[in-house]
Amino acid sequence: MATYTNRNGRWRVQLQVNGTRKSKTFPSKSHAQQWVKMMERDTADISVGVMPAKTFGELLERYDREVSVTKGGERWEHVRINKLLRDPIAKISNRQLSPQDVADWRDRSAKAGLSGSSIRREWGLLSAVCERAIREWGWLKENPFRKATKPKSNPDRTRRPTDDEIIDLLKVMGFSQKKPVLVSQRLAYMMLFGIETAMRTSEMCNMRWGNVGAKLVHIPESKNGDARDVPLSKYARELLDTLRGDEPDKVNADDSVFDMKPSQVDANFRKAKKKANIESLHFHDFRREALTRLAKKVGVMELAKISGHRDVKILLNVYYRPKMDDIADMLD
């Protein structure tokens, strides 16, 4: 019999399965109850040596419900899983899913205009779903993504904003030296703060005033699951002082620093870009700009600590994009 406990709005459920006590936490009691029903049904099937009959779509939904919700990139995975649920691969039985089905999905995605790099990102997510289904759920016997051929990656993105583009964006966003009031003005402050700190969009959206120290911002959990401290430049501290306003003592530690969600950042940056007649620039490109600027001040290991990259190769190949003219000047 399952027991449910409500802790700070989240539901923790405990269940005895084959003599082993399992527990999991969910955002709602209905999610927890669905998990219990699934565990009881699957346990009954496995006890008689039968792999539960599921569709690949059901695998995706369970992964979204149980695994994606625990990640920093929850929104990214949720959006992609909902998209993948509309693909024919979602209707295929787990007992029949094959490398050919994976290849068909790959080719459909390419014909629909998805780039090789985008397909590879979704591939990684789908392969992770299969691995979880094999190791913990007993819903698959092997991972078909391991036997299919991945598409080639696109060339690494190199786009950086120019100084003129940054100035034009600040103008259309209504940037001023006063505490921002409009969403577009808060976005301008986030953009400048991102250039100073190289923080991810999600990290800035999740920033609370209680995370801000005299010279550091503490990130309790980053995209890779690790906590880290990000050093603040003098200008970054000035931006935060302006955001606090004239009565900093009244700022609550739990209040959001920028008061924006990732979806708001994306939508409003698209509008600002259009007004400024700027093409092919993503908000995430400011992270590349920030790391390239920081590389002139710190070594690669310090840069990796600031950015939160475990793999230095990714940092150097994707995010560090110096101009060769600048390097030539450094040699003189």
Active-site annotation holder among 54, 186, 200, 321:
200
Note the Cα 110 to chain centre separation in Å: 23
Active-site annotation holder among 223, 244, 271, 293:
223
223 catalytic per annotation: yes
10 catalytic per annotation: no
Beta bridge partners of 208: 256
Could you tell me which of 45, 7, 48, 39 has the C-alpha nearest to residue 21?
39
Could you tell me which of 29, 30, 38 has the C-alpha nearest to residue 6?
29
- Buried b / exposed e over 150-168, threshold 16 CB at 10 Å, is ebeeeeeeeebbeeebbeb
320 catalytic per annotation: no
CB 90: neighbour CB atoms within 10 A?
A: 18
Contacts with 303 (C-beta within 8 Å, 6 or more apart), sequence order: 291, 294, 295, 315, 320
Residue type, position 166, single letter: I
Active-site annotation holder among 80, 106, 309, 321:
309
282 catalytic per annotation: no
Decide: 238 and 189 in contact? Cβ < 8 Å: no
Active site residues: 200, 223, 309, 319
